[in-house]
Chain A
């Protein structure tokens, strides 16, 4: 005699496992929906953890030392260098933008990195093609210095390795291509190709003039090696020794707080989209469990009739569902664990981000919890029927929902736990709550709409056309597809419409440049003595151009109301204003593109103590009101200024905008430079005009950097495009699970459809007649989903563009309509494909089953 399977297990578990293994049908979609969601959530978490781990492990290499101290438009004082040098080895680099020119005047903006070849890089290794020792690559031969260049510059200037270009007053031979610099990430995003030269050569360019925007970075490698605590002590000691240094400091354990912050936020966004995928797949879970209960209805009834209590039978059913959920979660975690490894190579190649694939227990736990909660949320109500419904009613498939409210309440509890978990685990609880609230709101709106549509379809007078009549009847009938169709189509369309509207808005920014709404060029580092000469030069080049210019320096807010900025609470959206040096100007009158929001502008001949005008959002974010004092370090000099007024800025003008504008008397004698803009729209042959401006400027004013706004926006667009790609990938997962849910809903409604189709075919209905009927049903329901999706997608895109990206919201009706119609057609097609099997059946064999 063979031993029964699982004989040692308690009865309930034994029965559940035996039954599940004996008949695992119908759990495919369930497992796919849960596994995909769990994989996405745990994968995103694992990836962000691996990135953070990579950043921290390679912190010294990325930073180029244990700590860095950077200042703009000046160098550290001798005392400061001596202090830092007494604790370790120093290595210095200079970063600035400049123009590289060919002999014939053709020019391009470049990002210069000037290093000491003897000490650079301190950690990691530099790669060049051909591989050359750095000292050899950068050495000066016959009066021409060496340079390593990003291959992009070769294409932009149409030069080759070995050619000579001019930067400022010096000539450089392009000795090799720069393939990788170990400390690239610490430099932030650049708009031009990198050119690496020696610091000695930079000095010979004549570009490092007073007021020129040169970032001077001093890196310290502590000797002997220091622990994290010792490093923090060292940095605190440096700040204490030079409280007015105004430097920007970074340490190896927080190489780029802004990058880490953005990484956290982006990971959070992806997690939320992944969670949407899980919730969208929840409909699939619900359908699968409903199908499971329907299929096992008679078996549960028999079990109850044989003496099984409602509780025991419910427990058996729940165990089967949870067993399937655990299989799905394990599968999801296994898939999720692969994501950091797969993404690591791509991230290293595309963005040179260091990814150290790290086991992520917290992410796995989070994925597991989400998976379990979503399963409970969507399965408790259907499973409740097993417990509550009497045997006879189960056998009759009587849909009376006796006391099911208890299970609905428990499911709502699981939903609330999900919301709480999303809030607790989100980097920003408010964003988490808003997003999940909006997602639940959208799904609830879709469900509510489904309910209303079903009521309306039932209340409508019965149309004469039998196809329309049957379509309407299918919309309201019990176990109708309507809720599943509306939610699935709605989720898919909302995501697609929102994504396309946001991307459309970004591209529209590029078009604005063509329409002349924003400047064509920025020119930085125009020496103040050459202001008039440069203006005449520009007027000569483009007589119809609109020229604007203001004085410009770099400054850093170091204290607010006397309190150092690292000790004050700052709103998230104002942190950028304190993160490093910002442009600073002065003006006798209210600047263009600005609007006074509070306070009054100073008299044109004002000569009193320093006054400053702040951008109102930043002022609010750092807790500053009219009359408060802020301390700003400008080129090593600390200025304490009273806030005289607040301004609203039109950032989107891409014109001259400064968050800090001082009264003119503060800087009149300072060594500042002028910032120029010119706007001339898109005249015929604009590219030629653009190129002439770059060429002539580089020739006549070698120290002036020309920045083509179109190129800058395109660079930002490229970054935004990469982020959008990640968001789109996450959205595709959500769309995929929504479609899976739709497929499972179609499968679960197959039996009722089969009944009607077979009876109608018996009465003379052809397949095309039935196809029309189902097509009408899907189209009517899809149309409702489309209307809601357009509203929800446009609302989401409006929020993202206006509130988060601060750009214009545009609504290209034709594009939206095209997306909506295409999605609708695809869904109708999928729905009809799903029912084709039903239509193709011959009535005879089916009638035996009915």
Chain B
């Protein structure tokens, strides 16, 4: 099966001086197209950093990151940005919407950046797909947490990315809203056939992924695929 993510012997150290922490210690991981992977592990185990690295938001000190056949280490900062815009959708725990833009504009931004011809029509469709067809002109400050996360999900999915990277997407939400968001994520992933990599502390959410990878102290402790 085609591997869309190929990570080999990743090392990453963060901080400086006494606060220096070796976060990733030789992680090797491959993910196939359309696979759903749950990254789990205790706080500080390196799962969010691993997600950031495979999403092209962090550069490793050593090791290779190939996504969709591209070596991310070889891309310049701007080339990496363009690659992300078209191939990787990211959902954050704290939504990270642009506060001065409406829901519609927030979703349209990656499409506009990628130079798509119909960004607003497409953004509208995406928002309708996550049940926010009536909130198009609302600013983030006027939306509930669950609604903001749905906007963030619509934004991540709008460019039809190869990979959907979600960093504790339900972490800031109550259990009911969180469950609804999780349903949406898996439904959209299934509909589009995207690869999903999801970081979570929630064992139930992790259980919904076809494959679970557990990290501890910067190393892969267990992997269902192995």
Contact = CB atoms under 8 A, between A and B. Distances in A.
B77 A466 contact: no
A767 B78 CA distance: 7
B110 A847 contact: no
Task: Give chain A's interface secondary structure class.
Answer: helix
Interface stretch (A161-169, A468-476, A496-504, A681-689): A468-476
Contacts of B105: 462, 466, 469
Contacts of A842: 57-59, 77
A764 B52 contact: no
Interface stretch (A124-132, A577-585, A755-763): A755-763
B112 A466 contact: yes
B85 A763 contact: yes
A755 B48 CA distance: 18
B109 interface: yes
Contacts of B155: 763
B57 A843 contact: yes
Contact of A844 (B53, B97, B100, B102): B53
Interface in A821-850: 842-845, 847-848, 850
B114 interface: yes
B28 to A, nearest CB: 20
B108 A466 contact: yes
A478 to B, nearest CB: 8
Interface stretch (B86-94, B142-150, B197-205, B212-220): B86-94
B192 to A, nearest CB: 18
Which of A474, A755, A843 has the largest count of B CB atoms less than 10 A from its CB?
A843
B3 interface: no
A120 interface: no
Contact of B58 (A469, A768, A844): A844
A399 to B, nearest CB: 11
A769 interface: yes
Contact of A759 (B49, B55, B96): B96
A791 interface: no
A844 B59 contact: yes
A761 to B, nearest CB: 5
A845 B58 contact: yes
A722 interface: no
Contacts of A763: 84-85, 109-110, 113, 155
Contact of A766 (B81, B86, B108, B112): B81
Given A842-B77, A847-B52, A847-B57, A764 B113 contact: yes
Contact of A764 (B14, B48, B81, B98): B81
B202 to A, nearest CB: 21
A469 B102 CA distance: 11
Nearest to A477: B100
Interface string B11-52: 000100000000000000000000000000000000011001
Interface string B64-91: 0000000000000110011011100010
A25 to B, nearest CB: 18
Nearest to A480: B100
Nearest to B96: A759
B203 to A, nearest CB: 24
B225 to A, nearest CB: 26
A755 B101 CA distance: 14
A843 B58 CA distance: 7
B6 to A, nearest CB: 19
Which of B78, B81, B100 has the largest count of A CB atoms less than 10 A from its CB?
B100
B131 interface: no
A817 interface: no
B94 A466 contact: no
Interface in A728-783: 755-756, 759-769
Contacts of B101: 469-470, 473
Interface string B108-125: 111011100000000000
B133 interface: no
A320 B77 CA distance: 41
A759 B99 CA distance: 11
A765 B113 contact: yes
A725 to B, nearest CB: 46
Contact of B110 (A462, A470, A473, A764): A764
Contacts of B77: 767, 842
A756 B81 contact: no
A753 to B, nearest CB: 11
B57 A844 contact: yes
B165 to A, nearest CB: 10
Contacts of A768: 78
A764 B82 CA distance: 5
A155 B33 CA distance: 91
A466 B113 contact: yes
Interface in A595-646: none
A847 B90 CA distance: 12
Interface magnitude class on chain A: 20 to 34
Contacts of A765: 81, 85, 113
Contact of B100 (A470, A761, A762, A848): A470
A402 to B, nearest CB: 18
Contacts of B49: 844
A470 to B, nearest CB: 7
Interface string B162-200: 000000000000000000000000000000000000000
Contacts of A767: 77-78
Contacts of A769: 113
Contacts of B82: 764, 766
B196 to A, nearest CB: 17
A750 to B, nearest CB: 16
Which of A469, A760, A842, A844 has the largest count of B CB atoms less than 10 A from its CB?
A844
Contacts of A848: 48
A763 B108 CA distance: 10
A850 B85 contact: no
Given A763-B84, A764-B81, A765-B81, A756 B98 contact: yes
Contact of B96 (A466, A469, A474, A850): A850
Given A473-B100, A477-B100, A761 B58 contact: no
B100 A474 contact: yes
A422 to B, nearest CB: 40
B30 to A, nearest CB: 21
Contacts of A760: 98, 109, 113
Nearest to A472: B100
A847 B102 CA distance: 22
A324 B84 CA distance: 46
A761 B56 CA distance: 11
B78 A477 contact: no
Given A763-B155, A764-B85, A477 B99 contact: yes
Contacts of A850: 94, 96
A847 B97 CA distance: 13
Contacts of B96: 755, 759, 762, 847, 850
Given A764-B81, A764-B85, A764-B86, A845 B14 contact: yes
A476 B101 CA distance: 11
Contacts of B84: 761-764
A769 B94 CA distance: 25
A657 B90 CA distance: 82
Contacts of B97: 759
A768 B98 CA distance: 19
Nearest to A760: B109
A758 to B, nearest CB: 8
Contacts of B102: 462
Nearest to A764: B85
Contacts of B53: 844
Contacts of A762: 55, 57, 84, 90, 96
8 contacts: A466-B108, A466-B113, A470-B100, A476-B100, A760-B109, A764-B81, A843-B57, A845-B58
Interface of B: 14, 48-49, 52-53, 55, 57-59, 77-78, 81-82, 84-86, 90, 92, 94, 96-102, 105, 108-110, 112-114, 155, 159
Given A476-B100, A765-B113, 4 more contacts: A760-B109, A767-B78, A844-B58, A845-B14
